[in-house]
Structure 1
Amino acid sequence: MHGTLPKDRFERVDIPALLEYGRTRCAIGLRDAVDRLAGPLNIAAAYHFGWLDVLGRPLGNTNGKALRPALALLSAKVTSTSDDQALPGAVAVELLHNFSLVHDDLMDGDEQRRHRDTVWKTHGPDVAILVGDGLLSLAMEVILEAGGAHSHRAARTLTAATRALIDGQARDLSYERREYVTIAECLHMAGEKTGALLGCSASIGAVLGGADDRIRQALWDYGYHLGLSFQAVDDLLGIWGDPQITGKQPWGDLRRRKKSLPVVAAAASEGAAGQRLRNLLADDAKNEPHADLTEEELTLRAALVEEAGGRAWALQEALRRHHAATQALESISMPDTVREHFIALSDFVMDRVK
């Protein structure tokens, strides 16, 4: 993958340290927020974040990449806003992100996340629903409690992303029951599910610092395109990712019959492989509830998606959105080191595909 991006640019920035900084800075705020939840929701949420094991015993690790809080804190530097002033935005976007993960795992029936059983699997579906609801409410509380002249504007940024995220998940679920989904529909859904939240993350710190609409929009656009690049890479990993790295089942998206970007692009192609894939998707739409796909059927579908060009298209779309994200930054001024960090984070998203 490095062969498609400037390798030296990616390696000039210590990405693990940048992400760890975002994680460390918002850790206390996250724990304080989760502690507000009533039991057993606080315990289940702490398990989800990786602070407790399934028996409630403390762990030393924290799950997740912390990309969103890192972006929120980085965006503050565009307007010379202090970390302390931007920190509620970092905490809020991480709470919002994890609200979506807890609920998505339940709706998708995913039993594993980050090499551990999911919340609904360990604590039950009812608790998972309430944990997700609690995390969403906490995100709004944290941003409104930030105070200052711009907290309500930041809250509007957060609520716009929340509504888009929920709309995107609704489309995602409905697409699983449809015979045919267009590439445009799939990209629109990905923009709502992933692009809006990363757009919020990449701008909310600057908003808390009083960024004008031009700066806010440029940073939002950067995050939005970064989100689409992220989703295209995630969809590639959802079919061909190494379970030892992803922490999920092999061919997980195919097992759930998800209309992910590689699948939709392949189904839109001409040729025998595309037609055969369309026939399988049509059969899926007619036969509900679905029987589990066998390993042979999963192997066939993965091969058809690749032969029909879905894998190559998704990779090119990820690269195109990566370019659009970096271009969005060109319309505003910022310190060179801040710009370099933004670009390195977009490289990091692409680098997940090896």
Structure 2
Amino acid sequence: MNPTQLTDALRQQFDLTNYGQQPPELYDPIRYIMGLGGKRLRPLMTLLAASLFTDDYTLALKPAVAVEVFHNFTLLHDDIMDQAPLRRGMPTVHEKWNANIAILSGDVMLVKAYEQLLDIDAQHLRQALQRFSQTAAEVCEGQQMDMNFESRDTVSEAEYIEMIRLKTSVLLGLAMELGGLVAGADAESTQHLYDGGLNIGIGFQLKDDLLDVYGDPAKFGKQVGGDIIANKKTFLLIEALERAEGTVRTELLDWLGRDTFDKAEKVAAITAIYDQLGIRTLTEARIADYFQKGFANLDQVNADPVRKATLLDFAHQLVERES
């Protein structure tokens, strides 16, 4: 099946998924955040990975839902930590209800994510649960690292890559690994699927960092320069701090230290520093490197070339995105 057909199948599966009914204050927020949609790329990649090895993609439907429910659970709790007012252009759960409800609803979402895995064939269930649990812990580790970075003056490139690997990329890797696992792929192929998702996921996050500074506001979907305004330690800022010297470093540190400033002026000034230091070119090279690694991993998957072409074509479309 092609990605459009699989997307339709996923939509139907999400519509059929029962998260619970009573009390409504517990379950309505779950239906609300799941109803906000989003790109749902992770569950789609689960189905595409499964389709490499079987015609019965339905084997991967509930595992795909598990990945997406878990992802949205993390977003719900992240929004509380970040005190974010909006998610996908709509009020966040803690704003629409309150923080206590958002915490408890998120807890139930984690339980419901595990429930979706229980229909996996017995021969694969233990491994699926073990890998899901390991990944869930890693995502939390990455989130804690990200919070730790907020109070640190310096963060190395290696530390940042490790943080985004854990916080965002391992879940894409797991999504693809699960698809192969439940479809009966050999161990080497499931590892290649995981590694491919992991490397492409790191490339995605680095591209998000880049688009936040250099993206087209009409395509990016959120404020360009938001990371600069917030002094967020992105790949670009970390590299700029590593490379800036003399008056350039003085100017950069001055902007980072200001409590009051004109937002547009700050974005323009720091972007100019990035331009002067060649940060855009450096970031683009890192992005290309991780995407190349990811596609090299997927090339090694032992599957029918025609089926693999569908997955690779879709992945190539993703990496060219501007939002």
Q: Is the TM value for this pair above 0.5?
A: yes
Long gaps (5+) in structure 1: 1-13, 52-61, 285-289
The Cα shift of 1:101 comes to: 1.7
Amino acid at match of 2:302: S
In 2, Cα distance between equivalents of 1:267 and 1:138: 43
How big is each residue's C-alpha offset from its partner over 1:8-32, in whole Å with a ceiling of 9 and x where there is no partner?
Answer: xxxxxx9xx61x4444323344345
Cα separation, 2, equivalents of 1:344 and 1:274: 42
CA distance in 2, matches of 1:348, 1:93: 21
Partner of 1:299: 268
Q: 2:123 aligned with 1:149, yes or no?
A: yes
Query: Is 2:207 aligned against 1:233?
Result: yes
Paired residue secondary structure (2:196):
helix
CA RMSD of aligned residues (A): 2.6
Residue of structure 2 equivalent to 1:351: 320
Q: How many residue pairs align between the two structures?
A: 322
> 1:144-202 CA distances to partner (integer Å, 9 max, x unpaired)?
24343212211222112111111111111111111000111111111111210110011
* Equivalent residue number for residue 32 of structure 2: 47
**1:129 partner SS:** helix
The amino acid across from 1:63 in the alignment is G
1:105 shift after superposition: 2.4
* Cα distance in structure 2, aligned partners of 1:130 and 1:318: 37
Instruction: Tell me, in whole angstroms, the C-alpha distance in 2 between the residues paired with 1:111 and 1:306.
Output: 32
* Cα distance, 1:314–1:147 mapped onto 2, change above 3 Å: same
Query: What TM-score, normalized to structure 2?
Result: 0.89
Please tell me the residue identity of whatever aligns with 1:255. I
Amino acid at match of 1:308: L
Alignment match, 2:286: 317
Between the aligned partners of 2:306 and 2:251, the Cα distance in structure 1 is 46
Match of 1:331 in 2: 300
Matched residue SS, 2:240: helix
Cα distance in 2 for partners of 1:64, 1:89 equals 18
Residues 129/240 of structure 1: CA separation in 2 closer, same or farther (3 Å cut): farther
- Report which stretch shifted further, 156-165 or 269-278: 269-278
Is the contact made by 1:33 and 1:138 (CA closer than 8 Å) also made in structure 2?
no
In structure 2, the partner of 1:131 is 105
Per the normalisation by structure 1, the TM-score is 0.81
Equivalent position SS for 1:150: helix
1:198 aligns to 2:172 (yes or no): yes
Does the residue aligned with 2:37 lie in a helix, a strand or coil?
Answer: coil
AA in 1 matched with 2:11: A
The answer to whether the 8 Å contact 1:261/1:310 transfers is no
Q: Counterpart of 1:58?
A: none
Structure 2 gap segments, 5+ residues each: none
How many angstroms apart in 2 are the aligned matches of 1:42 and 1:31?
15
Among 112, 122, 139, which residue is 1:165 paired with? 139
Supply the AA of the counterpart residue of 1:261.
Answer: F
Is contact 1:34–1:42 with CA below 8 Å preserved after alignment? no
Give the CA deviation at 1:244: 4.2
Partner of 2:11: 27
Q: Relative to 1, partners in 2 of residues 1:193 and 1:22: Cα closer, same or farther, differing over 3 Å?
A: farther
1:331 Cα offset (Å)? 2.4
Match of 2:84, SS? coil
The verdict on how the C-alpha distance between 1:208 and 1:184 changes in structure 2, with shifts beyond 3 A counting, is same
Quote the Cα distance in structure 2 between the aligned partners of 1:109 and 1:236: 24
Choose from 52, 61, 76 the match for 1:78. Answer: 52
1:346, distance to aligned residue in structure 2 (A): 2.8
- One-letter code of the match for 1:232? L
Pairing partner for 1:36 from 20, 24, 31: 20
Is structure 2 residue 315 aligned with structure 1 residue 341?
no
Distance 2:178 2:12 in 1: 19
Aligned-partner SS, 1:136: helix
Matched, 1:67 2:54: no
CA contact (8 A) 1:92 1:142 kept: yes
CA, structure 1 residues 278+303, in 2 after alignment: closer, same or farther (shift >3 Å)?
closer
Deviation of 1:348 after TM superposition, in Å, equals 2.3
2:47–2:64: 8 Å Cα contact kept in structure 1?
yes
* Contact 2:192 2:297 survives alignment (8 Å): yes
Separation in 1 of the partners of 2:221 and 2:322? 15
Classify 1:113/1:211 alpha carbon distance in 2 versus 1 (closer, same or farther; 3 Å).
same
8 A contact 2:203–2:287 mirrored in 1:
yes
Give how far 1:35 is off: 2.8
Comparing 218-227 with 251-260, which one deviates more in the overlay? Answer: 251-260
Q: Distance in 2 between matches of 1:226 and 1:106?
A: 28
Letter in 1 for 2:162: H
- State the AA in 1 paired with 2:25: P
Contact 1:179-1:282 at 8 Å conserved across structures: no
CA contact 1:274–1:305 (8 Å) conserved in 2? no
Q: Would the aligned equivalents of 1:34 and 1:135 in 2 still touch at CA under 8 Å?
A: no
- Distance in 1 separating the partners of 2:92 and 2:170: 24
Contact 1:106 1:125 (8 Å CA) reproduced:
yes
Identity of matched residues, %: 27
